[in-house]
Structure 1
Amino acid sequence: MKAIILCAGRGTRLKPYTDTYQKAMIPLFGKPLLEYIINGLIFAGFENIILVVGYLKEQVKNYFKNGSKWGIKIEYVTQKKANGTGAAALLCEDLITNNHFFLTWGDILVPYNMYKRIYETYLNNNQHFILLANYTDDPHKGGAIFSKDGYCVDIIEKPAHGKSGSNLNNCGVFIFHREIFEVLRKVKLSNRNEIELTGSIKLGIQDKRWKVRVIKMKKDQFRGDFGNIEVYEQLRKDARWLKKLN
């Protein structure tokens, strides 16, 4: 199975750091953020990784090259237009040769055993669609997840503050069946005029009766959201989170 990491965005919320760094390449104790994510995927057993690049893409390509330094194969796809996570996934369609693939945001970091747990859930339970969720007081900055009996029944992207009715947030770590590509071509554009993966998940659940398995992180587990400058400022000064990755 191939793994896709979305790392094309400009990272406007991380200015001024992203004036000179690609968001996924911001430094953290001697390594770029993206290297921690890749190390997590290697720990889980992935050997073929696709990086969707865009803004300051040469920083990514010059650092990781073909992946041989890490004992893996890395391929690159360029997203020229910032038109959504779903659009980024669609760019990888021709490189996905199996029925399933792994995908994660390039600014989210979770403990390495969570990447492995998702992959093993797929291997052991014949699950076509899996998403990782984390607990939060209010998922208004992400995606509210509603689940029943371990499966997602609805997902709402960036709900109104305090109005979602859910304490589960879309963590941005998934396994998809390639049927997602068909749905991405049909899903309506979001309010931001983008093709969103969350919108396609919602459509698949409603129209195709997808069974999307929800894996919930523990409430006290580490989750680094590096799209948030306050989080980055805190984590780049305090190395204790590194021990929570393994």
Structure 2
Amino acid sequence: MKAMILAAGRGERLRPLTDHTPKPLIDVGGQPLIGHHLQALAEAGFEEVVINVAYLGEQIIAALGDGSRWGLRIVYSRETPGALDTGGGVCNALALLGEAPFALISADVFTDFDYAQLRDVPATARVHTVLVDNPEHHAAGDFGLSDGRLVDAEPRLTYAGVGVYTPASFAGRGVQRFPLVAVIREALAAGLASGEYHAGGWIDVGRPSALEAARAWAMRA
């Protein structure tokens, strides 16, 4: 199974830190935020990772290189900054991802979720999502869970920015700007979305306070 890391965002809420440094390269505990994902993916047995880049993307490419530092092979999907959003970014990278289901991870999160679990997701759904408890800034949550199925019902949990997707779930959309949640909701409506709950650590590194929390956690670890 391949993995893709979404790393094309601007990181507006972390300005001025992100004015000259792309968010995935911000230091968290002695290595870039995205480096924690790469390390975890390598430890989970992944070998190839696709990373989409846009804003200050050449800095990301220069910093990560071919991935050999982590025992990985990294390939890059280049985008125009601000052009494609998360869903469109995946569509733009489909040729690099192949025909099999792939893990999809947001570079914006910091978590102890074991990515090896994504390699064992049954191929019975178009979309499989990892859900976490609702953070303070997103108290309403996103989706519910019922016997491993994703449902549009209470109580709602928050999408962790981690999941497994089939290329078929993006079929027919073309390379255009749209959010990933559109793909999730379409699969949910068709009864083809599954999910699991992660009770461990998870931080959406989207605000200065969250960045400091992630740094403190990384130092303790």
* TM-score relative to the length of structure 1: 0.81
Deviations 1:156-208 (A, max 9, x none): xxxxxxxxx5341011101011111116449xx9xxxx5111112111222x4
Q: How do 1:58-69 residues align onto structure 2 when only pairs under 5 Å count?
A: 58-69=58-69
Distance 1:142 1:10 in 2: 25
Q: Are 2:32 and 1:50 aligned?
A: no
Q: Residue 207 of structure 2: which of 228, 232, 245 is its match?
A: 228
Matched to 2:184, the amino acid is I
Q: Residue 200 of structure 1: which of 163, 174, 183 is its match?
A: 183
* 1:118 CA drift (Å): 2.5
Aligned match of 1:162? none
Structure 2: tracts of 5 or more residues without a match: none
Q: Are 2:196 and 1:215 aligned?
A: yes
Q: Is contact 1:131-1:215 (8 Å) kept?
A: yes
Q: How do 1:78-117 residues align onto structure 2 when only pairs under 5 Å count?
A: 78-82=78-82, 83-113=84-114, 115-117=115-117
Residues 117 and 175 (structure 1 numbering): CA distance in 2 closer, same or farther, change over 3 Å?
same
Q: Is contact 2:22-2:55 (8 Å) kept?
A: yes
Distance 1:36 1:108 in 2: 10
Distance 2:77 2:61 in 1: 11
Q: Is contact 2:130-2:197 (8 Å) kept?
A: yes
Structural RMSD (CA) = 2.4
Deviations 1:98-134 (A, max 9, x none): 3211111111121152x122222x2xx3343311000
Q: Is contact 2:25-2:34 (8 Å) kept?
A: yes
Q: Residue 167 of structure 2: which of 178, 189, 194 is its match?
A: 178
Aligned match of 2:150? 152
Residues 39 and 130 (structure 1 numbering): CA distance in 2 closer, same or farther, change over 3 Å?
same
Q: Is contact 2:28-2:218 (8 Å) kept?
A: no
Structure 1: tracts of 5 or more residues without a match: 156-164
Matched to 2:155, the amino acid is S
Q: Are 2:123 and 1:126 aligned?
A: yes
Matched to 1:153, the amino acid is V
Residues 17 and 87 (structure 1 numbering): CA distance in 2 closer, same or farther, change over 3 Å?
same
Deviations 1:208-230 (A, max 9, x none): 431x2211011xx2112111221
Residues 30 and 148 (structure 1 numbering): CA distance in 2 closer, same or farther, change over 3 Å?
same
Matched to 1:222, the amino acid is G
* TM-score relative to the length of structure 2: 0.89
* 1:233 CA drift (Å): 2.5
* 1:239 CA drift (Å): 4.3
Q: Is contact 1:14-1:228 (8 Å) kept?
A: yes
* Segments ≥4 residues shifted beyond 3 Å: 125-128, 137-143, 183-186, 239-242
After superposing the two structures, state which structure 1 stretch, 125-134 or 81-90, moved more: 125-134
Residues 235 and 99 (structure 1 numbering): CA distance in 2 closer, same or farther, change over 3 Å?
closer
Task: Report the 3-state secondary structure (helix = DSSP H, G, I; strand = E; otherwise coil) of the residue aligned with 1:92.
Answer: helix
* 1:240 CA drift (Å): 5.6
Task: Report the 3-state secondary structure (helix = DSSP H, G, I; strand = E; otherwise coil) of the residue aligned with 1:235.
Answer: helix
- How many residues in Structure 1 have an aligned counterpart in Structure 2? 219
Q: Is contact 2:134-2:141 (8 Å) kept?
A: no
Distance 1:184 1:133 in 2: 25
Distance 1:166 1:138 in 2: 15
Residues 137 and 232 (structure 1 numbering): CA distance in 2 closer, same or farther, change over 3 Å?
closer
* 1:14 CA drift (Å): 0.4
